[in-house]
Structure 1
Amino acid sequence: MKQRVSLIIFSVLLLNGMASSLFADDIPEGYHVVHREVSLTNLAEFPEYLLIGYIIGPMIEGYNLQVIEDNVPLDKGYKFNAYALFAIPKSLAEQAGGIENIDFKKIADTIPPIEILDPGDQYVADENPVNEEYYFYAIVKAADETLTLKLTRQLLKYRNGQADKIINY
């Protein structure tokens, strides 16, 4: 009996150890985390639209929505979540009684996402000295009246003492 209890305890501890390593956010050896932020910079130029962040992922039941604000970093939450950006007419949100009443799965065919972005931290090889990345996008209206994003500026910060790098596009 004592041997059986010991075997059960050992099995539980072994399974617990295996499960925790499966769900850990361990950084792979030879890599480091790069903090990444993505912001939109000219929302005021498009007052007739609401920009909505649409987030789905393994820890979310259904989806989460965020109203995007000018110069506020996008946030997808958990690193394995997917993030899409929709531009919807404000009138659509008003008719529906708020964005929470819009079925984004249905409107994705008629109002495709502007962009599928990946805001959030990333892993890079240790040879890469970048420590932080900041991406700034502007909304642009195409000739066919669709909205797209254009990368306007990127800021790179380094962990090795190298001066920050600003790239304007």
Structure 2
Amino acid sequence: MDKEKGGLWIREAATSVSFYRVKYGEKKQRLITVSYDQVIQKQHEVRALFSTPEATAKLDKYFREFPFLKREKAVKKKEYLSRKQIIDFMTAMPESISILIEQDPKCLSDENKQLAYEIWKAWTPIRQLISNVSGWNVKEGDSKKALGWGNAKPKEEEEG
């Protein structure tokens, strides 16, 4: 009786899990793909496709940990802005706010008042992260010198 050779490879996608048989020197073979909400119900079907002790042990561990993994997958991953996106956003904000101020110069609109509150709420930790010693420790004056805005001269002119 020939013992089945080949390993097990598990690939998690956004909404499903695929189980592959991997044999050295050959292309991996996808045997089954199961949606996240069906993984536990279909584990017997998946187990039937793999008979090596190593694959069985790997499946045991995967199915034992899956309820925790599923909770992790269910939590929406935070998306972060790139440096360029942050710069583009911060550059566009003053002009966007200016347009809103033209339409409501005394900030009488509840939406604009709420927006102003939210901007201050968001700006406070941003300023702390950038300027405090526990963050980047870059002060407003450093920016003025480096970029030549406000009443500061760029570093090159100052040194020359």
Tell me whether the two structures share a fold, i.e. TM-score over 0.5.
Answer: no
Instruction: Looking at secondary structure, tell me which structure has more helix per residue.
Output: 2
Taking structure 1 as the reference length, what is the TM-score of the superposition?
0.22
Instruction: Looking at secondary structure, tell me which structure has more strand per residue.
Output: 1
Give the greater-gyration-radius structure (CA): 2
Taking structure 2 as the reference length, what is the TM-score of the superposition?
0.23
